[in-house]
A and B are shown apart, each in its own frame.
Chain A
Amino acid sequence: EIVMTQSPATLSVSPGERATLSCRASQSISTNLAWYQQKPGQAPRLLIYNASTRATGIPARFSGSGSRTEFTLTISSLQSEDFAVYYCQQYNIWPPYTFGQGTKLEIK
């Protein structure tokens, strides 16, 4: 099973600033990585797939990068609606598909 590790667990950032979230895979997953956003009481929403492709309707301030084992989600200028929990997920080798434990992005 591929283990996905996200860091940090909690990130405190001020609105308008940049946020950088990290995700590491226990072995190479090429670019078979997705990022999801989950707000309280809501289902997750797809943000990024194939490590760097924004999903339909996702604002350009969200960007993804990385390959093999190291990945990054960057939010260039945080808006109030961006404060949420973010999960990475690998789909390179399954079953099982595996998720990171999540990074909570909170207002500083």
Chain B
Amino acid sequence: EVQLVESGGGLVQPGRSLRLSCAASGFTFDDNAMHWVRQAPGKGLEWVSGISWNSDIIGYADSVKGRFTISRDNAKNSLSLQMNSLRAEDTALYYCVKGKQWLGNWFDLWGQGTLVTVSS
């Protein structure tokens, strides 16, 4: 079955760190760019970060640049998001999302998301 399964979310205090993970299965992971997209409670979708198939190209939203780091391990079919200096406005459901081979394409598979709550 083709799927993405996120983990690592939870309640964290402002200023602290959290690491999200995504396990991919059912497709050739290293053929695809991967992304993180988040959705604050009751709000719309916001792209957070993306990484090319070979990690050569990485991009971030301005809102997380310098605080979040995306990475992937193609040998383990996994995607990660290291989130530092968390803020209340980072509270959201974080989706792991599969892109196409090249960055600059649509998103064709979404995980179910992992919830991050930043609060004291």
Contact = CB atoms under 8 A, between A and B. Distances in A.
Interface residues of A, number: 24
A34 B45 CA distance: 13
Contacts of A102: 44-45
A46 B110 CA distance: 9
A46 B35 CA distance: 15
B59 A96 contact: yes
Contacts, number: 60
Contacts of A87: 44-45
A45 B110 contact: yes
Contacts of B46: 99
A94 B103 contact: yes
B50 A46 contact: no
Contact of A95 (B45, B60, B109, B113): B60
- By size class, the interface of chain B is 20 to 34
A95 B106 contact: no
Given A43-B113, A101-B44, A102-B44, A95 B107 contact: no
A49 interface: yes
Nearest to B48: A96
A44 B47 CA distance: 13
B61 A43 contact: no
A34 B37 CA distance: 15
A72 to B, nearest CB: 17
A43 B95 contact: yes
B17 interface: no
Interface of A: 32, 34, 36, 42-46, 49-50, 55, 87, 89, 91-92, 94-102
Given A46-B106, A92-B104, A97-B50, 14 more contacts: A34-B106, A43-B95, A43-B110, A49-B105, A49-B106, A49-B108, A87-B44, A91-B104, A91-B106, A94-B59, A94-B104, A95-B60, A99-B44, A99-B47
